[in-house]
Structure 1
């Protein structure tokens, strides 16, 4: 019998980092004067409540969330994101998160982040965490290679995470049966993937996921206090 490939999948926001990176990027664009402080905040808050409720229209949200950087262009976008990493992301990364990832790496597991955040926001964060494999919302690009505001392919949100992980496995010559998968997540938005993997771990779970995890006997990991 062939040995199964051990895989550790991690959600990002409120799982490996104690904030929502997408929402925080939106707040950051307000801070640097890219967006209207009143109207943008109102819509950003509204989208975030829909995300928490599991009712987010991800296509509308990505168009909204990427508009400011799309209009500024790639060079300004890269500079702003470097500032975002320095001021917002690095200060909130807990050593416990790095240790959790490294523990799986030492065990020889294949490691990936699976997030509903778009790739512009999340690629540098994954790099900071030392994770090379990333399944994020892919952004459509124009002939010049810059983002259009649309999504390319299936967004990695809710059931879309299962679809994208399945594609990712197939690209490596694997399938669900040939893999032994652990998935860490904080949110009921990720129930489809939590229910599909071998070892679901409710990580810093919201109240609804904590209740479901207790009911189903899933492991609960409080990696850091909620913010």
Structure 2
């Protein structure tokens, strides 16, 4: 059966959040004295600059970003995440982001967050935002249930977002074309592949490259901040 409702896809970092959850997590661990500040802050900033420039090597970044997760038990990580969510994430959730999500949900749309950040970090954030569906980087687990510090499957980054979304839709017996309208809200040039696939791309507080492209193509440019 063809859906009568729409599909609303949202990037997370610098879109629904006025900041980057992947950037904030190491900062939180450094503040707690759990990571070496000199090394991780420098490397974190290095990769973040690559991401903004559209030159990020996702596998190299994930090897760096996920390694600290292997140091802790799942119970320890859950306790740390609760603290991180309260201190670093809730303060950067704009009211307008919650309102936009609520508007799509009230319209009966299928709402999803699709992000290049890993599921450990983003799962609780999606729940905080009241979003049921999430595509994120998946994490490998060892026999004891601890994270190994390695990703698994296709990273949901650039064209990988399309691959992961198409697989998710196929499990539902759908395609993007099944929906009357498909929205994608993003801030980043890295999301151009998926922005070009949906019927209604929306640039949200975009980086300079995406802003220029959106303006040239007549895509809506909005802000969820302020």
Q: 2:197 & 2:147 partners in 1: Cα distance?
A: 32
Residues 107-146 of structure 1, C-alpha deviations (whole Å, 9 max, x = no match): 0000000000011111110000000100000111111222
Report deviation, 1:187: 0.4
Aligned equivalent of 2:200: 199
Q: 2:78 & 2:178 partners in 1: Cα distance?
A: 39
Aligned equivalent of 2:211: 210
Aligned equivalent of 1:147: 147
Aligned equivalent of 2:33: 33
Mind listing any 5+ residue stretches in structure 2 that lack a counterpart? Answer: none
Is 2:119–2:136's contact at 8 Å kept on the other side of the alignment? yes
Report deviation, 1:60: 2.0
Q: Please list every run of at least 4 consecutive aligned residues from structure 1 whose deviation after the TM superposition is greater than 4 angstroms.
A: 1-5
Aligned equivalent of 1:190: 191
Alpha-carbon spacing, 1:3–1:132, altered in 2? closer, same or farther (3 Å): closer
Report deviation, 1:178: 0.9
Aligned equivalent of 1:66: 66
Q: How many residues align?
A: 225
Report deviation, 1:63: 2.1
Aligned equivalent of 2:167: 167
Report deviation, 1:52: 1.1
Q: 2:114 & 2:2 partners in 1: Cα distance?
A: 26
Aligned equivalent of 2:10: 10
Is 1:112–1:135's contact at 8 Å kept on the other side of the alignment? yes
Secondary structure at 2:91 match in 1: helix
Report deviation, 1:95: 1.2
Report deviation, 1:66: 2.0
Aligned equivalent of 2:182: 181
Alpha-carbon spacing, 1:3–1:23, altered in 2? closer, same or farther (3 Å): closer
Aligned equivalent of 1:103: 103
Secondary structure at 2:50 match in 1: helix
Mind listing any 5+ residue stretches in structure 1 that lack a counterpart? Answer: none
Q: 1:59 & 1:4 partners in 2: Cα distance?
A: 38
Q: 2:4 & 2:54 partners in 1: Cα distance?
A: 33
TM-score (norm 2): 0.96
Q: 2:83 & 2:59 partners in 1: Cα distance?
A: 26
CA-based RMSD of the aligned residues comes to 1.3
Report deviation, 1:176: 2.1
Aligned equivalent of 2:24: 24
Aligned equivalent of 1:124: 124
